[in-house]
Structure 1
């Protein structure tokens, strides 16, 4: 569903992303982990077209990632949720529905708003929402067009425990429906329970790309190793 080949993103003389390649299949949840500055957000922003890649090839569903055909296939939830100050929560949903040509959207929108405890906030303006509420609105808007691929950049930041639980539940439902999900996060524990596969970035390079069990067998000796232990081992300075 997603193919990234020899992706390079350079700032000046520094490679933020250093010639990385990977693929994501349908029905797969992949966790993208790495220390600050490893290139996680840069990689995701290059894929969705918010940053111009220096070189490489990115396709979604066989289409170039910057094409309209590709953009119809995915939703992106940024680390810092952006909402329109003068649109209500309900109007955000309506705007997305009209932009993507979603028919009969109201019932679906109401389900998502109910799930994230925003049903009583439908008439609240974007400028009056807390960061957590903005994040919830951002997720609801991303889910409404029923995309094939979802990119979540730090989706759990700012969410309360119940919303985190509901987000994980949605990940599971999306996976069962054959959707492809890439989740970038610092919250290692939250991704271990939902990801089929982990990609670990360090200094713009992929240093691990496999199931948690396989990565543990490859890189760590001993029983009782957590994903956090594995992450620290694989990203430590030499």
Structure 2
């Protein structure tokens, strides 16, 4: 569903993403872990087309990632949620429904608002929402068109415990429905229980790419017993 081949992103002489290659299949939840500055968000922004890659190939659903066909396949939830100041919460859903040609959106939209405790905020303007509520609106808008691939960049930051629990449950439901999910984060516990596979980034490179069980078999020692221990060992010299 997603193919990334030899992705390179440079900022001047700085190599932010260094020849990264990986693929994601349908029905798979993959966690992209790394400390701040590892290249996680840059990689994801290159995939969704918000940053122009220096070189490499990216396809989504067999289409070039910048094509209209590819954009129909995915939704992207950024680390910093953006909402329109003068649209209400419900109008955000209506806007997304119209943009993606979703005709029967109202029932699903209400279900999403209910899941994230936004029913009583449905008529609030975007400019009046807290960061946490903006994050919830962003997730609702991403889920509404029923995309085949979802990219979450630090999705749990700013969410309350109930919203985090519901988001993890939604991940499980999406996986069962055959959706593909890439979650970028530096919060290990936010993906450890839901990810089929973990990719660990350091200084623009992917150092580990395997199931949690296999990573533990490869790297576990008396000092490294948990995924957190493995993560810290692989990234111990990474810049914050």
| Alignment TM-score, normalising by the size of structure 2 | 0.97
Structure 1 residue 190 displacement after superposition:
1.4
Structure 1 residue 220 displacement after superposition:
2.0
In the alignment of these two chains, the number of paired residues is 238
The runs of at least 4 consecutive aligned structure 1 residues that moved more than 6 Å come to none
Unmatched segments (≥5 aa) in structure 2: none
Contact 1:219 1:234 in 2 (8 A): no
Q: Secondary structure at the match of 2:104?
A: coil
Match of 2:119 in 1: 119
Match of 2:66 in 1: 66
Contact 2:3 2:22 in 1 (8 A): yes
Structure 1 residue 236 displacement after superposition:
1.5
Match of 2:140 in 1: 140
User: How large is the Cα RMSD of the aligned pairs?
Assistant: 1.1
Provide the rounded CA distance (Å) in 1 between the counterparts of 2:212 and 2:64: 30
Contact 1:189 1:227 in 2 (8 A): no
Structure 1 residue 224 displacement after superposition:
7.8
Unmatched segments (≥5 aa) in structure 1: none
Q: Secondary structure at the match of 2:170?
A: helix
Structure 1 residue 222 displacement after superposition:
3.5
Provide the rounded CA distance (Å) in 1 between the counterparts of 2:33 and 2:129: 29
Q: Secondary structure at the match of 1:199?
A: strand
Match of 2:220 in 1: 220
Match of 1:183 in 2: 183
Per-residue CA deviations over 1:26-47 (Å, capped at 9, x if unaligned) read: 0000000001110000000000
Matched, 1:12 2:19: no
Provide the rounded CA distance (Å) in 2 between the counterparts of 1:237 and 1:78: 27
